Amino acid sequence: MTIYQKIEQEIERAREKFLPFHSQHEAYAVILEELDEFWECVKHDQDGYKELVQVAAMCVAAIRECE
């Protein structure tokens, strides 16, 4: 599976659980939360790959949904 497929899969998973972004403010908050989770992995010397996929997915979702 390519990284792009993983990102699309993560967007689909998130949209099954949560509604699309209502505003840029909401998108920012979600992206920041995902980025904070990645930062926690970095600080604890853990693999942050999954968190980075989630960051990328929320960035792509924000681009699509906040036009």
pLDDT tier at 36, thresholds 50, 70, 90: very high
Instruction: Please state the rounded mean pLDDT for residues 6-19.
Output: 97
Instruction: Please state the rounded mean pLDDT for residues 23-39.
Output: 97
Note the pLDDT of residue 67: 80
Q: Rounded to two decimals, what is the model's pTM?
A: 0.93
For residue 2, give Cα distances in angstroms to 17, 23, 41, 45, 64. Answer: 23, 29, 23, 25, 20
Note the pLDDT of residue 40: 98
Whether 50 has a pLDDT exceeding 90, the answer reads yes
Note the pLDDT of residue 37: 98
Tokens of 36: 């904070």
Three-state SS at 18: coil
Domain boundaries, the chain: 3-65
